[in-house]
Homo-oligomer: A and B are copies of this chain.
């Protein structure tokens, strides 16, 4: 029998705290979950360093990937199946793309990509198409099947409806992570009526649309997303941990380039330092490996590397103040000088971090990132862009909000014995 159509003899379920159960009936999905590349996602936190603020947020990308799959499965099987706008032959490629969309994430993705100038979406593509267990399973469906899945994730797939289920302003990815991250952090934001949204979701030509009667559920979803960004994802304390992480990787790179002799050689990082990495190098990495390095590097002779690793591993984070880079650049320059005088390298110990989010936007042609707006399906069959119907969404539409913080090691400034006056001076500048 055609491998792509094979069903398990009995439906398998995974107990999931967010969706109660994840249901798997397709042999292909079952086999993909068992691959090494997919199992690797267990070793990467869904929310990077957030667990250092919300101690419950210790869940992995493995969790989230199953959740996205389950939501897409429900969209298709419960809401779309049997409707003329939905082509059921797209079912398997959509489910595979949902399950695998985060496959290329590396350890502490954000920081890692930033330092080594990588792109996890590119790695997702490479894993799908390269010499991997995932590719082997996908190829058993059809020779061009891996490419199809890659196209859906890369948003170049011809059927835009399929793409929209996984990448749009109201996709399964967001729906899962909002609920899941709310559940594990324990915050009371992040809840919205997904059951209702799934019930009122309809397949349309280029995207999934929402029946007008479900507008309020969508409003609620957008507000949940907004709250999660500012309450959880951009929490200044987890950004502090992230800043330190970036600095550790930068320092290790610099040391390596300068010919420093590590007690614990950065074997796994070498190819990233000199940009010679291949896919296998990337897949070999996870947060267990990175953390093991950080723990070991605490005993390195380089004081900066040792201190930063100690900070990260033992949660001795940087303090922060609100900071407006546009207006306060002079203050930053002044601090830079004083830090150097005090013997604290500002390159590693005085860091501006900015977070920014656009809660919702309608289509603005020509803009940097063209966003597909959410459309309501009116009673008369017409489609209307959400912000034209919803006062609340209209009110926040297109309004980007940005937050800047300046991070620094308050403990060093307070506890240091040498250059006390200088340190006092720095502290007083920071606290005004």
Contact = CB atoms under 8 A, between A and B. Distances in A.
A55 interface: yes
Contacts of A395: 392, 395-396, 399
B392 A396 contact: yes
Contacts of A14: 55
Nearest to A60: B58
A174 to B, nearest CB: 16
Interface string A60-93: 1011001000000000000000000000000000
A189 B215 CA distance: 13
Interface in A117-141: none
A58 B55 contact: no
A190 B56 CA distance: 18
Contacts of A292: 288-289, 292
A8 interface: no
A220 B191 CA distance: 11
A15 interface: yes
Interface stretch (A36-44, A269-277, A344-352, A365-373): A36-44
Given A17-B185, A187-B15, A392-B226, A58 B54 contact: no
Interface in A13-46: 13-18, 20-21, 34, 36, 39, 42-43
Contacts of A288: 287-288, 291-292, 295
A57 to B, nearest CB: 9
A8 to B, nearest CB: 14
Interface stretch (A96-104, A192-200, A329-337): A192-200
B231 A216 contact: yes
A58 B189 CA distance: 22
A428 interface: no
Nearest to A293: B292
B63 A56 contact: yes
B291 A43 contact: yes
B54 A63 contact: no
A357 to B, nearest CB: 11
A22 to B, nearest CB: 9
Given A185-B17, A288-B295, A55 B51 contact: no
Contact of A195 (B21, B59, B192): B21
Given A17-B56, A193-B187, A227 B231 contact: no
A149 to B, nearest CB: 21
A188 to B, nearest CB: 4
A54 B15 contact: yes
A332 to B, nearest CB: 22
A217 B227 CA distance: 9
- Among A62, A192, A395, chain B packs the most CB atoms within 10 A around the CB of A395
B189 A17 contact: no
Interface in A372-402: 391-392, 395-396, 399, 401
25 contacts: A15-B56, A20-B186, A34-B315, A39-B313, A43-B291, A55-B60, A58-B58, A58-B60, A187-B193, A188-B191, A188-B192, A188-B193, A216-B227, A216-B231, A220-B223, A220-B227, A286-B295, A288-B288, A288-B292, A288-B295, A289-B292, A292-B292, A391-B399, A391-B401, A392-B396
Question: What 5 A-B pairs are tightest by C-beta distance, nearest first?
Answer: A395-B395, A17-B186, A188-B193, A292-B292, A288-B291
